[in-house]
């Protein structure tokens, strides 16, 4: 009964008011609290951007110092979580382990948490930002059978993550500054993107008053799919499958992507909102060139395939008509691989970086007071019918 707007996939439904992120998909504009992503990527860093997204203004030097100190204070996870990790199959996908372990944080921070109190919401946000790199690196270590590495608070956010990923008790890994800079930029480019599928999931779960760590775990699950954050892993798999950069070979894959009877799509291409270049992809491509040339890897074979593929697709009528451009996931995998990050960790890194976006939206929603999210449906099932009388 009643009249509802029918909008499958929420193509034209605004689910909330938000002051955090603005996108103009036609022009390819992305602003965080009013600041263009290009300027932030150039001049800011992930921790400063995190403060901005959460609090609405750039931190003063003193606020920045306090914020970094608070994040460093929370980097360790409860030692009992180690037992929880041990329950996973040794070859589990790290995203499966992330969904579980981040959800498990709810067990450590629940009874004393009052989400209606601003202070408690801030502490939850700080804990999440600080503990995600630790958990992400633990997922990697667990999956490759190496001992967990504890955080080092004298390192920067990105350096500490790389240190926990690659150090072993036999050999300390000291992060290369080029890698740390590229990593921090990748975190910034993934930090927030308004009401995407995972953020909307976090808001929907959060609208019931659920524990914030459980909400973020739901966001991680939503991000995992290849249509969303899982695309960065899928891009590298696709580039490996393409294999060589000859024109005919690449054209074959472009033709497959156009064929509606073939499920193959160009991964890292297309976006629900952008009908123009994804501004994050532009910065990512520049970063990719920078990192590879600084490492003397300018002729990386996968980068060559990616660039050729982009060129061929952008000249193809199919992609032009549909306004399909490379998105944030197209070049990130090539940088991550150059840093030495295994492909199955790509989406985990996206989740780590997006956590600040998720928790900022959750905080905004709870602070503004919200109704429970409860979409309606158009029922298409059978009309009333009666259960058949049983024969005795």
* Position among 163, 253, 269, 325 found at the interface with ligand CMC (CB under 6 A): 269
Closest residue by Cα to residue 37 from 320, 301, 283, 323: 283
By beta-carbon proximity to ligand CMC, the closer residue of 77 and 238 is 238
- Evaluate whether 125 touches 53 at the Cβ level (below 8 Å): no
Q: Is 228 in the site for ligand CMC (CB under 6 A)?
A: yes
- The site map against ligand CMC for 55-84 (x = CB under 6 A) is ------------------------------
- The footprint of ligand CMC on this chain (CB under 6 A) covers a number of residues equal to 20
Q: Is residue 187 a contact partner of residue 353, using CB atoms and an 8 Å limit?
A: yes
What is the C-alpha to C-alpha distance for residues 324 and 106, in angstroms, rounded to an integer? 39
Residue 322 touching ligand CMC (CB under 6 A): yes
CB closer to ligand CMC out of 207 and 232: 232
Based on DSSP, count helices (H) and strands (E) in the chain, helices before strands.
Answer: 17, 3
How do beta strands 35-36 and 29-32 pair? antiparallel
CB of 169 to ligand CMC, least distance (A): 36
Nearest to 94 by CA among 349, 348, 354: 348
- Which position's Cβ is nearest ligand CMC? 270
265 is a contact residue toward ligand CMC (CB under 6 A): yes
Residues 6+ apart with CB under 8 A from 295: 178, 338
271 is catalytic: yes
Under 8 Å between Cβ of 168 and 252: no
242-261 residues in contact with ligand CMC (CB under 6 A) are 257
Tell me whether residue 114 is one of the annotated catalytic residues: no
Selected from 53, 205, 267, 365, the binder of ligand CMC by CB under 6 A is 267
DSSP 232-261: HHHHHHHHHHH----HHHHHHHHHHHH-TT
Tokens of 281: 């992809």
Burial class (CB in 10 A: 0-12, 13-18, 19+), 108: middle
- Lookup: tokens for 279: 């501004």
The catalytic position among 140, 271, 278, 361 is: 271
CA diameter of the chain: 83
324 binds ligand CMC (CB under 6 A): yes
Among 144, 174, 227, 297, binds ligand CMC (CB under 6 A): 227
Stretch that binds ligand CMC, among 18-26, 56-64, 170-178, 269-277 (CB under 6 A): 269-277
328 near ligand CMC, rule: CB under 6 A: yes
How many residues belong to the chain?
Answer: 392
Binding region for ligand CMC (CB under 6 A) out of 71-79, 90-98, 100-108, 326-334: 326-334
Count other C-beta atoms under 10 Å from residue 230's C-beta.
18
239 near ligand CMC, judged by CB under 6 A: no
Q: Contacting ligand CMC (CB under 6 A), which of 26, 272, 340, 368?
A: 272
Q: Which stretch binds ligand CMC (CB under 6 A): 106-114, 227-235, 245-253, 356-364?
A: 227-235
Binding site for ligand CMC (CB under 6 A): 9, 196, 227-229, 231, 257, 265-272, 322, 324, 327-329
Active site residues: 271, 329
């Amino acid at each position: 009964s009643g009249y509802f707007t029918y909008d499958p996939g929420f193509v034209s439904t605004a689910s909330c008011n938000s002051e955090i992120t603005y996108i103009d998909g036609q022009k390819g504009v992305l602003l965080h609290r009013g600041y263009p992503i290009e300027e932030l990527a150039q001049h800011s860093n992930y921790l400063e951007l995190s403060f901005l997204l959460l609090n609405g203004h750039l931190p003063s030097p003193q606020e920045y110092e306090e914020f970094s100190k608070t994040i460093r204070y929370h980097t360790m996870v409860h030692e009992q979580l180690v037992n929880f990790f041990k329950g996973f199959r040794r070859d589990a996908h790290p995203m499966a382990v992330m969904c579980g372990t981040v959800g498990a944080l709810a067990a450590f921070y629940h009874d004393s948490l009052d989400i209606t109190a601003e202070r408690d919401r801030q502490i939850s946000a700080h804990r999440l930002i600080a503990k995600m790199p630790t958990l992400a690196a633990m997922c990697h270590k667990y999956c490759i059978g190496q001992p967990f590495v504890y955080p080092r608070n004298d390192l920067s956010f990105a350096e500490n993550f790389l240190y926990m990923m690659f150090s072993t008790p036999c050999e300390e890994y000291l992060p290369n500054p080029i890698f740390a800079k590229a990593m921090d930029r990748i975190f910034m480019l993934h930090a927030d993107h308004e009401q995407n599928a995972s953020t909307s999931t976090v808001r929907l779960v959060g609208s019931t008053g659920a524990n914030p760590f459980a909400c973020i775990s739901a966001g991680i699950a939503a991000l995992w799919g290849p249509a969303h954050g899982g695309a960065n892993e899928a891009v590298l798999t696709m580039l490996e499958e393409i294999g060589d950069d000859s024109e005919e070979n690449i054209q074959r894959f472009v033709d497959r992507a156009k064929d509606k009877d073939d499920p193959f799509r160009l991964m890292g291409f297309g976006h629900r909102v952008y009908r123009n270049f994804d501004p994050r992809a532009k910065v990512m491509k520049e970063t990719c060139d920078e990192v590879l040339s600084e490492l003397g890897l300018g002729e990386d074979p996968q980068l060559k395939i990616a660039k050729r593929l982009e060129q061929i697709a952008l000249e193809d009528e199919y992609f032009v008509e549909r306004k399909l451009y490379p998105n944030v996931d197209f070049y990130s995998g090539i940088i991550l691989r150059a840093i030495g990050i295994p492909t199955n960790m790509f989406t985990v890194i996206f989740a780590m970086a997006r956590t600040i976006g998720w928790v900022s939206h959750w905080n905004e929603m709870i602070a503004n007071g919200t109704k429970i999210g409860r979409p309606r449906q158009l029922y298409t099932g059978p009309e009333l019918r009666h259960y058949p009388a049983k024969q005795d």
